[in-house]
Chain A
Amino acid sequence: MINSSPITTWEGAGAIYTFAGSGAGFWFFVMCVLCIVPLWVSLRAENKAEREHR
Chain B
Amino acid sequence: MTPEELQAAISVANTINLEVYYYWATAIMVLIHAGFLMYEMGASRVRHTLASGTKNILAFAFMIPTFYMFGWWIYLAMTSGFSPDFEAGAAGVPWSEWMGPNIQDNASGVFVGAFTLFACTTASIMSGAVIERIRMAAFVILAVVLGSVVWNLSASWGWHYAGWMVTSWGYHDFGASGVVHMISGFFALGVLINLGPRIGKYNSDGSANVLRGHSLPMTATGLMLIVVGFFGFLGACVIFPGTGVSFHPELWTNIYGQPTTLSAICFNTLMAIAGGIIGCYTMTRDPFWMMSGALCGVISAAAGLDLWYPGLAFVVAFAGGILGPWAAGILERMGIDDAVGAVSVHGICGIWGLLAVGIFMGGYPPISDTIPAITFMGQFKGMIVMLLLGFIPGYVLSLIFKMLGILRASDGVQMAGMDVEVTNVAYPEDIKS
Contact = CB atoms under 8 A, between A and B. Distances in A.
B21 to A, nearest CB: 22
B307 A24 contact: no
Nearest to A16: B307
B310 A17 contact: yes
A49 to B, nearest CB: 11
Interface residues of B, number: 31
B365 A18 contact: no
B258 A37 contact: no
25 contacts: A1-B361, A2-B362, A4-B361, A4-B363, A8-B365, A16-B259, A17-B307, A17-B308, A17-B309, A18-B304, A18-B308, A18-B309, A18-B361, A20-B309, A24-B311, A27-B311, A27-B312, A28-B311, A31-B275, A34-B315, A35-B278, A37-B282, A38-B281, A38-B282, A41-B285
Contacts, number: 83
B309 A10 contact: no
Interface in B275-329: 275, 278-279, 281-282, 285, 304, 307-312, 314-315, 318
Contacts of B361: 1, 4-5, 18
B302 to A, nearest CB: 15
B364 interface: yes
Given A18-B309, A34-B314, A10 B362 contact: no
Interface string A8-42: 11100100111110001001101100110110011
A31 B144 CA distance: 41
B23 to A, nearest CB: 29
Nearest to A20: B309
B362 A31 contact: no
Nearest to B368: A10
Nearest to A28: B311
A10 B258 contact: yes
Contact of B375 (A1, A5, A9, A20): A1
A13 B251 CA distance: 11
B275 to A, nearest CB: 7
Given A24-B309, A30-B315, A7 B365 contact: yes
Contacts of B264: 16-17
Contacts of B281: 38, 41-42
A4 B360 contact: yes
